[in-house]
Chain A
Amino acid sequence: MQESFVRELRNIAGERNVLTDPESLAVYGYDSTPELEGAPGAVILPSGAEEVARIMRLCSGSGINVTVRGSGTNLSGGTISSADGVVIQTSRMNRIIEIDEENLTATVEPGVITSTLHREVEALGLFYPPDPGSMNISTMGGNIAENSGGLRGLKYGVTSDYVMGLETVLADGGLLKTGGKAVKDVAGYRINPLLVSSEGTLGFFTGITVKLIPKPKAKITMLAHFPLLQDAAYAVSSIIAAKVIPATLEFLDKVTIRCVEDFAHVGLPLDVDAVLLVEVDGHPAAIAEEAISVEEICRKHNCTFFQRAKDADEGLKLAAARRTALSALARVKPTTILEDATVPRSCIAAMLKIIRESADRHNVTIGTFGHAGDGNLHPTCLTDERDKDEIARAHAAFEEIFDAAIAMGGTITGEHGIGVAKKKYLPKLSGENGIRIMRGIKKVFDPAGILNPGKIF
């Protein structure tokens, strides 16, 4: 990085908020994606939208690449920069600007932690449903840029279902305002859905307005044990076919159960093939009925033990334990490569079978968990980055799994994004026209290509 450029950055953001020492650069060179790293040339921590606009203007003028970073928990290499680019870290932009109880909206800065927003709105009897497993760490900006899902996706949808308005600083420092608090808006193309899941390649969100809903009055958390994996999968499809829509319908296989229990000690069974974690929420009378249906369906599918959380606290503990699944899997081996294949939910059983077969064929250990109700599974390979042969086999297994997902009418990533990690699979899924249109959109937003280059395609 040129001295003069860094000096100008310091003029904008302040001396302390521009880091160029090798140690800082090194630790902003990774995110939660395995096997990927790359230190930026500088890290900038702006305090607000105005500084961001000035920084972007400076960078575009100097032809310097920019990667925005929230908490660095994404799983596709979305925040990996190179030495000739800068990372702009949003952690200082962490104010909740407003919770509007009349319009049921919240407006936040991008660095607000997801669960902080949950806490604040729930204190007012409101609800912001998207709750990724990483909600205690991830930022709202990251959630929007990845269109994150969560444990409550089945009933409530994903992040994009809640984004109403965005203020985005463009590559040249200009400001784009899209949407707002009006619930209806058909003026021109819908830009918000395009920006949601843009993975930092189209613009820098500085203001985010999301929709809130009333907080459900009650919920019941349940855990069903299945001696056979396939039975759990069939139970998932049957629950949905029975027109019960639980808020949460999560699946954990044997490998995952062991790891989670080893860490969280919440009493998960160690002698079954799979468990389903089910949560129904809403009016007490309605959910009482739904809980009975869920239990009946699970039992019909050979569930051997069905447990209801005895109170809210136990329910929270079970859900919290589920959120540790990915990290807990790393107890077994140093490297965890996790995928995000998503299929129409009627195909869950078939997908699980393919995952097991691929793992066996390539002689790798794969633990699977995920948002079964969304058809979104996370087959996770437990491996060791130093064992190049095993890593190659893991990737070979995943290639098969992706092909199967595409063949079933699914997708290669349900919520983690393409980033760098899944780039090579995108053309297979989107086709030539798909890629051409995406490239065109990118060109309009960012003609010089300075925003998070090398991501998506």
Chain B
Amino acid sequence: MIKIVKRDQPSRAIFFFTPVLAIILTLVAGGLIFFILGFKPFEALKFFFIVPIADKYGFSELLLKATPLCLIAIGLSFCFKSNNWNIGAEGQLTFGAIVSGGVALLFYEQEGFYILPTVILAGAIGGMLYASIPAILKTYFNTNEILVSLMLVYVSKLILDYLVVGPWSNPEGFNFPETRQFSDSAKLPLLFEGLRIHAGIFLALAAVVISWFVFYKTYLGFQMKVSGFSLKTAKYAGYKGKKMIILVFLISGACAGLAGVGEITGPIGQLHREISPDYGFTAIIVAFLGRLHPVGIIFASLVVAITYLGAETAQIFMQIPKYTGQVFQGMILFFLLASDYLLFFKIKFIGLKK
């Protein structure tokens, strides 16, 4: 007989085991879905998860997709760890891209070492500005940050649409909804000839290291943790609780904004409608799959990035719609939440005990 028993204290090992379990379950369920759709499950999974990263180009593409996911998820972990539910990273990414894109366009056909840093900074500031809206509304007007940050995503996308169709559209662009190409000085340098992987990856790695340090080693990280658990306690301790909430939103907005900069000054090179395949939303899954831990997030961003690539190869080789990628992302989150049950309960097989 199987019995479910409450755990006295969630164990640390299970805390990092359940994400792995979730991935395994996702693979099993994915295979099953392929089977039902009439594909050979193992072959389909191979096309989805192995073929795309089997060569050097594929692997560099993996890193390319993992970069924004990792960067955003790191930012989000600041919010989520302190109980602030910022789910509008996609909007902060978009707005960061708009601001930095605007600055890049100002430097159209100009050269200079100062251009790229300015563009990057602009993106971070744009993301921060956009994230400050839900933060300020939350702290001073008690609004729900989940709703506000989510709704602002659509606002930012509409602003972007307006700009690339209207005032910022390329005058020589035959009315395509896109801006001019940025000058080379406004683009992130490529790391290898012939591959699209760019210097943005260093931004992500820096974010990983800095976040680890801030969270576990600094007074600021400690204050954020306390403020996240209880504003009342933060106030009693004498921390500026509200400031802290705003700060985590700003950090998270800056990271999302930087991810936006990475996209438009990296592989894209201009502003257009589709600058992000929902990286901002997918990064929420990455953050949780990585247990809000910087190192965990690196692994999680790689795993989730595969689903983007796999969807493309599977579409090319097997005519499976590329939206299967999102199905896989959904399944990962689903199984992660489900297996989190094991954090608090354990399963005992009573029949086995004599």
Partners in one complex: no
Interface residues of B (CB under 8 A from A): none
